[in-house]
Amino acid sequence: MAKDFSTRDENYAQWYNDLVIKADLAENSAVRGCMVIKPYGYAIWEKIQATLDKMFKDTGHSNAYFPLFIPKSFFSKEAAHVEGFAKECAVVTHYRLKNAEDGSGVVVDDDAKLEEELIIRPTSETIIWDTYRNWIQSYRDLPLLINQWANVVRWEMRTRLFLRTAEFLWQEGHTAHATKEEAEEETQKILDIYADFAEKWMAMPVIKGVKSPAERFAGAIDTYCIEALMQDGKALQAGTSHFLGQNFAKAFDVKYLTKENKLEYVWATSWGVSTRLMGALIMAHSDDNGLVLPPKLAPIQVVIIPIYRKPEQLEAISEKAVAIMNTLKAKGISVKYDDRDTQKPGWKFNEYEFKGVPLRLAIGPRDMENGTVEVARRDTLEKEIYSMTDIETKVEHLLEQIQENLYQKALSFREDNSFRVDTWDEFKERIEKGGFVYAHWDGTEETEAKIKEATKATIRAIPLNNPLENGKCILSGNPSKQRVIFAKAY
């Protein structure tokens, strides 16, 4: 571990930032609030992207692309939407004209002012629904199931790499349906996809729920979410799926002709996850030795490192290492053979441990004599000697074990840090220590706002299929029929 690398107990925020930078995932850019995603970090994002993209396409969705710039007037058409994003928007007011006299420079003056200001997209509901008006004419055009992979801009004053930046990458789905029931079914289907991905690929347990009105997406009827608990006891919203009702269809006059020849407004959904998932992945599993990656999302699942003193030893080891690498690749496992002579094996061990590579194989002269290989797991830091015979099957099973172990470890952490409280004093004490706090709430935005003001905690989710129980709101004492999840959050 690098000497200047913080531990989680010393300073969790600094530990996270150090890890992102020193593991070569991302760095701050010359543009305030924006980041550069480095190749190793982007390779993880590409795996996230490829997996989700297939899941979307397998459920009938297609990709498209819509403009980065949105006319300002579009936002005013949906009142809640414009209010929700008014403080975050980056606005284009001018364009630049070449100096007509000598062509050597540019000038900005009133002649170069745009007739209508353009918003750099913070989200694309408005531009997409303006487009859908031309695409949807009758019931034959429905359902319309579109996703786009894009960048968005939401002006942020306090930024943190991956978790909150002025510009970030994401996918946003926007669908149109003939009935309310179909749109609600779509919203739930996508929520299930997000939860499935988080748990089976990210090895990160999540709670599926619905947001309170105060936490709802601007312009939505209902917002569904998946919430995860990070190692510092804070919650992280990992994905959202919104039932938009007919709000945007009415705002942009998107109607369809039914089978009975009646004009009706369509029903809508939107949904998205972003590079924030990278932050979740880091904080859910990593430790004081660096990054810990679940095998399914690791750019390098196995690294093979030769240990030798003489060139002829390297030649023999390389022959065996390349053979092992090829058998692993034949099983679809991503492998790197690091035979660089510029770094010693110990240095390489530390590098790949810090970068979270799930499995490390080391082969030396003694291994060549004995037909063995040293195998080191990143999740437990355990080392074991294995026979080279059928090593590809053993590695495959170990990767599966690591994936499951990371999930179970994160699940145990969440269970150990989930609490039920019944009084305001209990709540205040518990929320300061972190974790998911299950408590009664009277259902009013006024009480929710007071709790947030007093403790900085918010309602993260009202769990789906939440068991009903009679109780009293922790703050107001008014009747409540269910507990909701409170937490401090990113």
Kindly report the CATH number assigned to the domain that includes residue 51. 3.30.930.10
Q: Binning pLDDT at 50, 70 and 90, where does residue 389 land? A: very high
Residue-level pLDDT at 426: 98
User: Do residues 393 and 365 share a domain?
Assistant: yes
Q: How many Å apart are CA 159 and CA 155, to the nearest integer?
A: 10
Residues 316 and 225 in one domain: no
Picking from 242, 237, 217, 241, the residue whose alpha carbon sits closest to that of residue 277 is 237
Q: In the predicted model, what is the mean pLDDT of residues 81-105?
A: 73
Question: Which one is predicted more confidently, 1 or 199?
Answer: 199
Collapsing DSSP to helix, strand or coil, 461 comes out as: strand
Q: Please give the C-alpha separations between residue 326 and each of 121, 337, 375, 391, 484, in angstroms, as whole numbers.
A: 45, 10, 17, 12, 51
Distances in Å between the Cα of 482 and the Cα atoms of 133, 159, 278 are 41, 35, 33
Residues 34 and 131 in one domain: yes
In a domain, 351, yes or no: yes
| Residues 262 and 360 occupy one common structural domain | no
Q: Structural domain of residue 322, as residue ranges?
A: 302-398
Query: Which CATH number covers residue 422?
Result: 3.30.110.30
Are residues 447 and 393 located together in one domain of the fold?
A: no
pLDDT classification of 83: cutoffs 50, 70, 90: confident
What mean pLDDT is predicted for residues 330-352? 97
pLDDT of 2 reads 46
Question: How many domains would you assign to the chain?
Answer: 3
Token pair, residue 313, equals 């030893």
For residue 359, list its beta bridge partners: 302, 377
pLDDT tens, residue by residue, 207-224: 999 999 999 998 999 999
Are 458 and 487 spatial neighbours (Cβ–Cβ below 8 Å)? yes
Do residues 414 and 229 make contact, with C-beta atoms less than 8 angstroms apart? yes
pLDDT at 1: 42
Task: Indicate which CATH number applies to the domain containing 377.
Answer: 3.40.50.800
CA distance 424 to 71: 47
- Residue 155's Cβ-count burial label (10 Å; 0-12, 13-18, 19+) is middle
Q: What is the dihedral of CA 232, 233, 234, 238, to 10 degrees?
A: 90
Percent of the chain with pLDDT over 90: 90
Which residue matches tokens 């010693």? 344
Q: Which of 252, 285, 318 is the last residue of a domain?
A: 285
Cα 88 vs. chain centroid, distance in angstroms? 20
Are residues 482 and 437 part of one domain? Answer: yes
128: which 2 tokens?
């997409």
How does residue 96 score in pLDDT terms, banded at 50, 70 and 90? confident
- The answer to the question of residue 404 being in a domain is no
Model confidence at 111, in pLDDT bands (50, 70, 90)? low
- 187 and 51, same structural domain? yes
Question: Does 434 reside within a domain?
Answer: yes
Q: Percentage of the chain with pLDDT > 70?
A: 96
Is pLDDT larger for residue 218 or for residue 236?
236
Domain membership flag for residue 450: yes
Non-local CB neighbours of 336 within 8 Å, separated by 6+ positions? 300, 302, 303, 304, 357
Residue 475 in domain = yes
Q: Is the pLDDT of residue 459 over 80?
A: yes
Last residue within a domain, chosen from 348, 366, 398: 398
Neighbours of 52 (CB within 10 A): 20
326 and 268 housed in the same domain: no
If asked whether residues 135 and 203 sit together in one domain, one would say: yes
In a shared domain, residues 267 and 152: yes
Query: Two tokens at 85?
Result: 């994003």
Residues 153 and 278 in one domain: yes
Based on the fold, state whether residues 135 and 180 are members of the same structural domain.
yes
Q: Which of 398, 430, 455 is the last residue of a domain?
A: 398
Contact 247, 171 (CB under 8 A): no
DSSP assigned state of 460: E
Q: Would the pTM of this model clear 0.85, i.e. be above it? A: yes
pLDDT tens digit sequence for 410-443: 999 999 999 999 999 999 999 999 999 999 999 9
Rounded distance between C-alpha atoms, residue 223 and residue 210, angstroms: 6
At residue 357, the pLDDT reads 98
